[in-house]
A and B are shown apart, each in its own frame.
Chain A
Amino acid sequence: MTAMPAFRPTKNLLAALMFIVFALFGLWLARDLEGGGASDMGPGYFPRIVCIVLIALGGTLAVIDLMRQGEPPEGWAWKPMLLVTTSAIAFAFLLRPIGLVGTIAATTVLASAAGTLLRPLALALLVAVLIAVNVGIFVVALKMPIPLWPSVL
């Protein structure tokens, strides 16, 4: 472990940084867009105004926060964040290849691992109910063209 850093950024400072990073990224992405004049705005005019305003707001927030020391951010819970994210990504990538039934099962199990894990039987029951409900709503009632099973079968 490294020694405690002498400077701990506060919530507001990090928030200010976030706004500024988003705005700078926006400016960079809009770099090739034609600005045009105030009477004849091109596609790049308004985005630039928005980004500049956002930078100004972020800057003000940072300055105010440096003047009166704010709260440091609370800890970051990696496990729920990563597992929830993974299960949503799994949904996106599994749906077309393996179909709705398998995808819901995988998503549910992965998501469930993010919190207090259910007992196997309870989990199986939850998966079954979710599959039944979603197939009922989307495939039977709304007639969406979602594959149910892997296409290889």
Chain B
Amino acid sequence: MDSFLDLGNAVAGFLGNIGIGFGVALSWQNILLCLLGCLLGTMIGVLPGIGPLTTMAMVLPFTFWLGPVGAMIMLAGVFYGAQYGGSTTAILVKIPGETSSVVTILDGHAMAQQGRAGPALAIAATASLFAGSIVTALIAAVGPPLAAIALLFHSADYVSVMLLGLVSAVVLAHGSVLKAIAMIVLGILFGLVGTDTQSGAYRLTMGIDALFDGLGFVPISMGIFGLAEIMYNIEHQARAGRISGTISGLMPSIKDLLACLPSMARGTAVGTAFGILPGGGPTIAAFSAYSLEKKVSRTPERFGKGAIHGVAAPEAANNAAAQACFIPMLSLGIPPNALMALMIGALMIHGIQPGPNIIAKQPELFWGLIASMWIGNVMLVILNLPLIGLWVRLLQVPYAYLFPTILVFCCIGTYALNSSTSDVLIMTAFGIIGYIFRKLDCEPAPLLLGLVLGPMLEENFRRAMQVAEGDWSVFVTRPLSAAFLAVSLVLLIAVVVPGIRRGRERAFRE
């Protein structure tokens, strides 16, 4: 009976919180920001040569003027908007806006070639909305209890859970795991530059005044994901898209929709699991959903030749996974990927320390963001279908116009944040460093994770060791911490064992 009452209370509390969220998200300013973010995200997802990371890095300085809630709402909009845009180009021109829409090409582009681009686009949008709505509800339900658990963590547990987060992120990085780990550590090292918060000593600053406050998150990400991308893309001449098939009859038939419903549900389940589970992500989720769909299908031979289920399932899965990765970010303060690291960077610009406290201390932020994700998903479907013609025309914008524009925005955005020309120079230096990374096949995304988590890691590490009076065994004697470390170790071993590694490489080669 008691537990039943508790459940009733929990539901009432949940509904109350959702109410707060919609109250925040439905203010005209936040609706506008959500819309702006979604549109910008879609546009960028469509344009060749600019990924969501670059865009979010470019939007970051602007969000400084918005206040934390507006900033998060807009950045999240850019993030899932880019997912939509990415699948649009995957279907129409065979260019995946993101690696997570690579699978969509297989059947989506085949459909487009058969003149069924409209239904393919529509089913992709519907599947994303379906998945987005379910996962948003899940974040609302799971986030608070998870954060409540995390609040019980001691410093040692927190260190271990951060290590687990970093290891998980690395396990599915492209290419060499060893390099990805080294990139994280390098990011931690860059994060150490500046004033030590505990002793006030200047560290690794080379005596340069501009570095006393540390290497900013914005100049580093703009340099690596803005300038370096431009250099690399000019060299590899970003491909101009060619549209195949005419787009007519946008709406999928009711029959198509009903037929795809089970695929969407399966895709959402697979995507959510991969989004939350350590080591998951939108890309692997989309691949897994696709192969699952092929296995359960009664007509597997139609896959790759324009099967509508082959669009619905991976699109639901990548959107589900993309949104599910907000769960560790919002409830634990641990970014599972570089995009979430950027979101945390945005919070830190506003002076909000990410971590399990966010939900309790900033309810408007957490619930407002969740409500806005719901609204944004709906807006995307409503807006995108009529706007597809515009997106298609955008695709034909030559890169020669794009990259000077990106460059100017990177410069002025970086400058504007602190009115600092040294930040522009730091950004430039990281442009060169980022270009070297690209040339040496060092995936730069893990570096951002290290950069964001580094300071938190050090702080908790120092505190844990202080409490334990310098006894290193504290990390294995505390059960929680030991469990996190054990899982990290298992994950690492799993990657190093050849059989699993081969499977993983196969998933990425496609």
Contact = CB atoms under 8 A, between A and B. Distances in A.
Q: Do A and B bind each other?
A: yes
Given A12-B176, A22-B189, A144 B419 contact: yes
Contacts of A124: none
A38 B441 CA distance: 36
Chain A's interface: helix, strand, loop or mixed, by majority?
A: helix
Interface stretch (B133-141, B144-152, B431-439, B482-490): B431-439
A134 B469 CA distance: 54
Contacts of A43: 196, 198-199, 201, 203
B424 A76 contact: no
B421 interface: yes
Nearest to B207: A29
A84 interface: yes
Contacts of B409: 134
Could you say which interface size class chain A belongs to?
Answer: 35 or more
A116 B400 CA distance: 6
B235 A80 contact: yes
B407 interface: yes
Contacts of A14: 440
Nearest to A53: B185
Quick one: which of B198, B204, B404, B439 has the most chain A CB within 10 A?
B404
B378 interface: no
Interface in A33-53: 33-34, 37-47, 50-51, 53
A12 to B, nearest CB: 7
Contacts of B424: 88-89, 91-92, 95
Chain B's interface: helix, strand, loop or mixed, by majority?
A: helix
Given A54-B189, A84-B431, A60 B408 contact: no
Interface in A75-114: 76-77, 80-81, 84-85, 87-89, 91-93, 95-96, 100, 104, 107-108, 111-112, 114
Contact of A47 (B204, B230, B425, B472): B204
B178 interface: yes
B142 interface: no
Contacts of A37: 470
Could you say which interface size class chain B belongs to?
Answer: 35 or more
B201 to A, nearest CB: 4
Contacts of A115: 234, 399-400, 403
Contacts of B425: 89, 92
A116 to B, nearest CB: 5
Contact of B179 (A34, A61, A87, A114): A61
A22 B410 CA distance: 25
Contacts of A42: 199, 201
A29 B208 CA distance: 12
A142 interface: yes
Contacts of A80: 230-231, 234-235
B400 A118 contact: yes
A110 B134 CA distance: 48
Interface in B449-479: 454, 458, 461-462, 465-466, 468-472
B307 interface: no
Interface string A11-40: 110110011001100100110011001111
Contact of A142 (B65, B189, B399, B461): B65
A130 interface: yes
A47 B462 CA distance: 12
Contact of A19 (B65, B182, B204, B470): B182
B65 A33 contact: no
A46 B461 contact: yes
Given A11-B441, A30-B204, A81 B470 contact: no
B132 to A, nearest CB: 30
Nearest first, the 6 A-B pairs at minimum CB distance are A39-B470, A38-B470, A92-B424, A80-B234, A43-B196, A43-B201
